[in-house]
Amino acid sequence: MENLRVLVVDDEADFLETVVMRLRRRKIDASGVDSGKKALEIVENERFDVVVLDVLMPGLDGIETLKLLKQKNPFIEVIMLTGHGSVESGLQGMQFGAFDYIMKPADLDELLEKIQQAYERKRIHEGRHGLSGE
């Protein structure tokens, strides 16, 4: 997963810090923001391969953020974080182009596996379109 860049988007500060720190410990270039609006702004200026996106956030929620992220960059892969037993919102995210969803609190090994799978899919899709991840 060399050069893999992950953006974590969650309004829960402790969860956000913990996930970003744990991904970095696994040698993954991870950044975090606490809102959909900030996610859209950072994606304008920086390249990310995978976005881990909370569904329930104040302001721009995860589904709306997903739609806008995919409009800006159709190749970016998004993993939805669903809490409160809301499998429906994860499935809805997949209808709008999310790679997959994971229940909160997220198991790190499961999250890492989904990130790796999403990254591989992104590379395959870019390869089919003559693009590189750089």
Write the DSSP assignment of 18-83 as a string of letters. Answer: HHHHHHHHTT-EEEEESSHHHHHHHHHHS--SEEEEES--SSS-HHHHHHHHHHH-TT-EEEEEE-
Asked if the structure places residue 134 within a domain, the reply is no
Asked if the structure places residue 133 within a domain, the reply is no
Instruction: Tell whether the model's pLDDT for residue 131 goes beyond 80.
Output: no
Instruction: Tell whether the model's pLDDT for residue 134 goes beyond 50.
Output: no
Asked if the structure places residue 118 within a domain, the reply is yes
Supply the CATH number for residue 87's domain.
Answer: 3.40.50.2300
- Residue type, position 24, single letter: R
Asked if the structure places residue 114 within a domain, the reply is yes
Asked if the structure places residue 22 within a domain, the reply is yes
What pLDDT score does 132 carry?
A: 58
State how far the Cα of 106 lies from the Cα of 130, in Å rounded to an integer.
34
Asked if the structure places residue 93 within a domain, the reply is yes
Task: Give the number of domains in the chain.
Answer: 1
Look up the domain containing 44 and give its range. 5-128
For residue 111, report the phi and psi dihedrals to the nearest 5 degrees: -65, -45
State how far the Cα of 94 lies from the Cα of 100, in Å rounded to an integer.
6
Asked if the structure places residue 101 within a domain, the reply is yes
Asked if the structure places residue 77 within a domain, the reply is yes
- Residue type, position 35, single letter: S
pLDDT digit string (tens) for 18-77?
A: 999 999 999 999 999 999 999 999 999 999 999 999 999 999 999 999 999 999 999 999
